[in-house]
């Protein structure tokens, strides 16, 4: 099961699937942790990007990536 994260401070992430353009992630944004890789990157999705109903056929969510250190230091688990 995935872990929901809430952004504690704003940071800039890179869109993984659409040309790697920087995106600002504001404080208070809810994020879903997807995975980490061996190169020090964390991949996540924004909760606002998850549709209430998944279309047929299902579509891949926009993914974002940021250094793992930045992700860990900028987010917290909801309490």
Kindly tell me the number of DSSP H helices and DSSP E strands found in the chain. Answer: 1, 7
pLDDT reported for residue 50: 83
Residues 6+ apart with CB under 8 A from 63: 15, 16, 17, 34, 43, 44, 45
- Residue 49 is given by DSSP the state G
Average of per-residue pLDDT across 42-69: 86
Are 67 and 73 spatial neighbours (Cβ–Cβ below 8 Å)?
A: no
Interval 5-52: pLDDT, tens = 889 899 998 887 655 678 889 999 999 888 999 999 999 988 888 888
pLDDT reported for residue 20: 60
Domain ranges of the chain: 4-76
Helix (H) / strand (E) containing 64: strand 64-67
Strand, helix or coil for residue 69: helix
pLDDT reported for residue 56: 86
């Amino acid at each position: 099961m995935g872990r929901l994260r809430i952004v504690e401070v704003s940071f800039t992430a890179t869109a993984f699937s659409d040309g790697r353009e920087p995106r600002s992630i504001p404080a208070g944004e809810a994020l879903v942790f997807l995975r980490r890789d061996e190169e020090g990157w964390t991949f996540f999705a924004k909760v606002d990007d998850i549709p209430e109903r998944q279309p047929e056929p299902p579509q891949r969510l926009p993914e974002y990536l940021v250094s793992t250190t930045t992700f860990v230091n900028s987010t917290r688990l909801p309490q």
